[in-house]
Chain A
Amino acid sequence: MEKETLIEELKALIIKSLKLEDVLPSDIDPAAPLFGSGLGLDSIDALELVVALEKTYGIRIPDEDVGKEAFASLSALAGYVIKNKK
């Protein structure tokens, strides 16, 4: 799967699984941080995203260190999914 296509899929997954009703896919900058200053997600969102990614793509984010790398941005997350997808 092309990274650009996956980024669009991940935008939809994030909006749906985290119920971000006021956010449009076009509002999410692939280069911006997902947590804190970027999309403004919190630690509970991170856990819900970990569960949703495992159910959808079969990938595991085993700990916070890996999470920091994978959740650095949407682009980074797409790269992590492509690398680890089963």
Chain B
Amino acid sequence: MRPFEHLLHRHPFVMLDRAEVVEEGRHAKGIKLVSADDPAVSQAGIFPSAYVVEAMAQTSGIASGKETGSMLAGLKDIEFRGTVLTGDTLETESIFERNFGGLYFFSCTASVSGKRVAEGGVILYFDETA
């Protein structure tokens, strides 16, 4: 799946190159190949942790199965466990846990070569009155 077809985000803020729906409306995975010419990458070749979180949030948007777009409303207990560098393949995963009204909670992870670099909860807001 091409992520930008399922997200409102556009280059250079699409943080995923590919995505896969594991279970419709609940579970998705994403992949980003971190390249040196990516505008998000610093001169030191680091893909900033804030963008790792954004990649987890965009994976959550795809996991939701909703096409309406959403806003990142909150983060819960995010932990960073490693640095993402140029040349790395960032793999994200998001599982929908629970919603309350238009607020949806997802448990997310981000890994490089099987090693966890970030994990935590992402809260997205979907305007369900629209």
Closest 6 CB pairs of A and B: A47-B100, A47-B103, A44-B74, A50-B100, A64-B101, A51-B98
Please list the residues of chain B having a beta carbon within 8 angstroms of any beta carbon in chain A: 73-74, 76, 97-101, 103-105, 121, 123
B-side contacts of A61, CB under 8 Å: 100
CB neighbours (8 Å) of B105 from chain A are 47-48, 50-51
Contact, CB under 8 Å: B73 / A44: yes
Measured CA separation A51–B123 after assembly (Å):
11
**Docked-complex contact B98 and A64, CB < 8 angstroms:** no
Q: Is the interface of B mostly helix, strand, loop or mixed?
A: strand
Asked if residues B98 and A67 are in contact (CB atoms below 8 Å), the reply is no
Which of A50, A54, A63 is most buried by chain B, counting CB atoms within 10 A of its CB? A50
Name the residue of chain A whose CB is nearest to the CB of B73: A44
Smallest CB separation, A47 vs chain B (Å): 4
Name A53-85 residues within 8 Å CB distance of B. Answer: 54, 61, 63-64, 67
Residue of B nearest to A64 (CB): B101
Chain B residues whose CB sits within 8 angstroms of the CB of A48 once the complex forms: 76, 105, 123
Given contacts A47-B98, A64-B100, 16 further A-B contacts (CB under 8 A): A43-B100, A44-B103, A44-B123, A46-B103, A47-B100, A47-B101, A47-B105, A47-B123, A48-B105, A48-B123, A50-B98, A50-B100, A51-B97, A51-B98, A51-B121, A63-B101
- In the complex, chain B residues whose CB is within 8 Å of the CB of A54: 98
Chain B residue at minimal CB-CB distance from A50: B100
Bound Cα distance A86, B121 (Å): 25
Min distance, Cβ B60 to any Cβ of chain A, angstroms? 13
Query: What residues of A have a CB within 8 angstroms of the CB of B99 in the complex?
Result: 47
Q: Which residues of A contact B97 (CB under 8 A)?
A: 51
Assembled-state Cα–Cα distance A46/B125 (Å): 13
